Structure 1
């Protein structure tokens, strides 16, 4: 914050270790508005998550210093607010803590605060009902991106509601979930001619949106700006392909005993209310195999020319979301039981898809599992995440002909693949690790006996 008399300047704070900038999604306030302490003033998107920015002081908005869509570096000015009081002494301004890191103003605190596991509530689905008094509908579309909460954006996309025509009742006019639920279809189309700077452009043909009753321009092509998570993911994958010498190995696994065990456990009281999936059992097998082959759980330190071996497992689970691929990870996964893994994997996937995964959830992974089987794919060759040594791919689990006890039988079969950084993991280590995971899944009672 910068002192300019009674006008204070709020700069983009440190949103997490390694994050140097963020994209401004929307403002929840405008020039002339009065803001309260900790009121949400804007939403930004980083490579990790969508973050709501609270105001660090109260007063009247004097100037907005960035526009929606801008990429703002950490420390760059965002907004100026007239407080009507003198600026706080320098001692009140957040500064480096005892560990030398700058205090995190927004979000989730220093990294070590997120290491201890939280007791997370089980997500519940809430029925969508029309509001008794629906909010007013804008007669004209906004000239800038509609301010809305992440949950409201997600729900609007699911229902086919155009946020340009929904009046917001949240802080600064932001659209909330309740506003979306109470929105009604509108007949006025939003065409290219709606904008003042495009009044001479021809109006394209229109098509009816069957979900929301809206009329939208038809288009032969669509261009989507690359930003936020997709932009960072692309950069990370390019870096992975260019800088990591990768190799892969595959093995077909008789998954029948694991499927039978899962069926049995689902009927027990211990797993009541939990969604027990093959992924949970695979995660347990991976953790057990890492304990046997710790060389697979390493990192390459280029600056010091060292290999870092981790004696803990932050297990990443790749999750496909509307915003792109996210890889939240389970901190200290080696200490989790199968029941804990089942609950935590479900919770992380739900929060990632809802856009509420925190930077702490998304950084610090040591080994990743990606599950392409949910898309009906038998196998794949995943790229190793920078900062890790290997990634395991779980393919679809299908009934197939299989030689079992010297006879042809129909068994549940899947394919496991592992990609690894050949600087740290040679072919023998990669193959032995993969064989160990396969063996545990073919005889899962042996796996549970290790818990």
Structure 2
């Protein structure tokens, strides 16, 4: 690293095999001083929200993307001046000659330096360039274009250097990412749209007006009484903005959708059901809440259900396996990473408790509590969602009796737990009110046959009916 250089921090692969991430929030702005290890932004991958630390000291020179943008892994997202370049703020008017002569400030190849919200701020006190960076970007356009020309091999003295001083609208039309997406969805060429926004920025209304304009010739040929029908700001009939909301499929929801489709059409699912009297289990939950060993821990029916499943897996280890299509092998796991499906504002995620089979009941209670808290805060790490072997999904918390859960990719079984309700039940020859629930076990029929799946489900049910079996079977 040389003195006075500008370092480009690229979007890292914060999870195994991820290809993109969305920038949720920037914690720094151009002109801010950063230190090695300081968190500069929060991004959402297909698996979780992650904070990214910068790996060197310096001064933020530029944020290449605004919040809400999805960026490919390996793409530069922030430029930081390090060494002598980071010792003093960049000049407001004369960085052109310095950059051209020394090659200190370099833009990523192929990027237009005048896109809305992407330009370098000319004011050290301006904290939110997304609202005001357009003006600064347009002022810096000639300088940035000169630097780009040098990077493309024209040299600092090339005669064509003055050409970039042409208006910015002569190049790529100015529009924010959501507007570009809208135009793409509606089949509108932004180059043909007349901008009405500040500094020549194309707005959503401009796109809608362009759509209405392309259909204008037909109404013009009609009688004069039909002229008021078209509305310049109205959306096409296929997209009623007043009564419809479109939500981009990305992040956790995009990954979940792809995984579920892949699982549903790859593994042949079979689901079995059993209705269980869990009255004794509910009594044991209340007793454990009073036990000093569980003070401060999360004790609920899910804890005992999880332990019951772990015991059933120990008695029927072949259920804890996966199907290796490439090798045409069944991989039996001698450990259990127990996944717990969790609903979060970003969508459904399934973090797992590593080596849950080796944990005592108090340890399992602590792990469950930490897993749930972390998921609700949106801080589940990608590593916590990798390597699961078996999953539990508790649909009962929503008042649902049961369901037919879809396997997580790479797993052979998933247990759904229904709502626990007081119902009339035959107990010791008499009809009495009892706490009852329904369990559903889905499994991959390529490696789990009906006998094995039935044994596992029956074992879980037997333990919940007589929870003392946890002591004898464990």
Question: Normalization by structure 1: what TM-score?
Answer: 0.69
Q: 1:76, CA displacement in angstroms?
A: 2.2
Q: 1:25, CA displacement in angstroms?
A: 1.8
Sort the Cα spacing of 1:264 and 1:252 in 2 relative to 1 into closer, same or farther, 3 A: same
Given candidates 363, 370, 374, the residue that maps to 1:340 is 363
Given candidates 333, 341, 364, the residue that maps to 2:387 is 364
Sort the Cα spacing of 1:194 and 1:224 in 2 relative to 1 into closer, same or farther, 3 A: farther
Partner SS for 1:288 = helix
> Are the counterparts in 1 of residues 425 and 433 from structure 2 also a CA contact under 8 Å?
yes
Q: 1:142, CA displacement in angstroms?
A: 6.1
> Are the counterparts in 1 of residues 20 and 71 from structure 2 also a CA contact under 8 Å?
yes
Q: What is aligned with 2:302?
A: 279
Q: What is aligned with 2:228?
A: none
> Are the counterparts in 2 of residues 254 and 414 from structure 1 also a CA contact under 8 Å?
yes
Q: What is aligned with 2:12?
A: 13
Partner SS for 1:223 = coil
Question: Normalization by structure 2: what TM-score?
Answer: 0.66
- Greater fraction helix: 2
**1: distance between equivalents of 2:20 and 2:459?**
41
Tell whether 2:61 aligns with 1:38. no
Sort the Cα spacing of 1:426 and 1:199 in 2 relative to 1 into closer, same or farther, 3 A: closer
Sort the Cα spacing of 1:142 and 1:306 in 2 relative to 1 into closer, same or farther, 3 A: same
Q: What is aligned with 1:306?
A: 329
**2: distance between equivalents of 1:398 and 1:311?**
35
> Are the counterparts in 2 of residues 3 and 9 from structure 1 also a CA contact under 8 Å?
no
Tell whether 2:320 aligns with 1:321. no
Given candidates 257, 273, 289, the residue that maps to 2:280 is 257
Q: What is aligned with 2:254?
A: 231
Q: What is aligned with 2:75?
A: 76
Sort the Cα spacing of 1:291 and 1:37 in 2 relative to 1 into closer, same or farther, 3 A: same
Aligned runs of 1:159-174 on 2, under 5 Å?
Answer: none
Partner SS for 1:449 = helix
**1: distance between equivalents of 2:64 and 2:202?**
22
Given candidates 401, 405, 410, the residue that maps to 1:387 is 410
Sort the Cα spacing of 1:199 and 1:432 in 2 relative to 1 into closer, same or farther, 3 A: closer
**For residues 88-120 of structure 1, what are the alpha-carbon distances to aligned partners after superposition, in whole Å with 9 as ceiling and x for unaligned?**
xxxxxxxxxxxxxxxxxxxxxxxxxxxxxxxxx
Aligned runs of 1:394-413 on 2, under 5 Å?
Answer: 394-413=417-436
Q: What is aligned with 2:223?
A: none
> Are the counterparts in 1 of residues 3 and 84 from structure 2 also a CA contact under 8 Å?
no
Sort the Cα spacing of 1:40 and 1:408 in 2 relative to 1 into closer, same or farther, 3 A: same
**For residues 137-196 of structure 1, what are the alpha-carbon distances to aligned partners after superposition, in whole Å with 9 as ceiling and x for unaligned?**
x9x99649xxxxxxxxxxxxxxxxxxxxxxxxxxxxxxxxxxxxxxxxxxxxxxxx9987
> Are the counterparts in 1 of residues 403 and 440 from structure 2 also a CA contact under 8 Å?
yes
**2: distance between equivalents of 1:303 and 1:50?**
32
**1: distance between equivalents of 2:38 and 2:419?**
46
Sort the Cα spacing of 1:3 and 1:287 in 2 relative to 1 into closer, same or farther, 3 A: farther
Larger radius of gyration: 2
Higher RCO (C-alpha 8 Å, min separation 6): 1
Q: 1:79, CA displacement in angstroms?
A: 1.9
Q: What is aligned with 2:50?
A: 51
Q: Which runs of 5+ in 1 are unaligned?
A: 88-137, 145-192, 205-217
> Are the counterparts in 1 of residues 2 and 83 from structure 2 also a CA contact under 8 Å?
no
**1: distance between equivalents of 2:472 and 2:455?**
21
**For residues 324-349 of structure 1, what are the alpha-carbon distances to aligned partners after superposition, in whole Å with 9 as ceiling and x for unaligned?**
11111111101111222222111101
**For residues 186-233 of structure 1, what are the alpha-carbon distances to aligned partners after superposition, in whole Å with 9 as ceiling and x for unaligned?**
xxxxxxx9987559789x9xxxxxxxxxxxxx9633222221111111
Q: 1:26, CA displacement in angstroms?
A: 2.7
**For residues 269-294 of structure 1, what are the alpha-carbon distances to aligned partners after superposition, in whole Å with 9 as ceiling and x for unaligned?**
22222231100000000000001111
The alignment's C-alpha RMSD in Å is 2.8
Q: 1:78, CA displacement in angstroms?
A: 1.8
> Are the counterparts in 2 of residues 244 and 421 from structure 1 also a CA contact under 8 Å?
yes
**1: distance between equivalents of 2:63 and 2:285?**
55
Partner SS for 2:265 = helix
Q: 1:250, CA displacement in angstroms?
A: 0.3
Q: What is aligned with 2:146?
A: none
Tell whether 2:300 aligns with 1:288. no
Q: What is aligned with 2:171?
A: none
**For residues 17-57 of structure 1, what are the alpha-carbon distances to aligned partners after superposition, in whole Å with 9 as ceiling and x for unaligned?**
23232122232233343322222222111122111111111
**2: distance between equivalents of 1:68 and 1:142?**
9
Aligned runs of 1:180-195 on 2, under 5 Å?
Answer: none
Given candidates 290, 293, 307, the residue that maps to 1:270 is 293
**1: distance between equivalents of 2:203 and 2:10?**
34
Q: What is aligned with 1:26?
A: 25
**For residues 375-395 of structure 1, what are the alpha-carbon distances to aligned partners after superposition, in whole Å with 9 as ceiling and x for unaligned?**
111000110000100100000
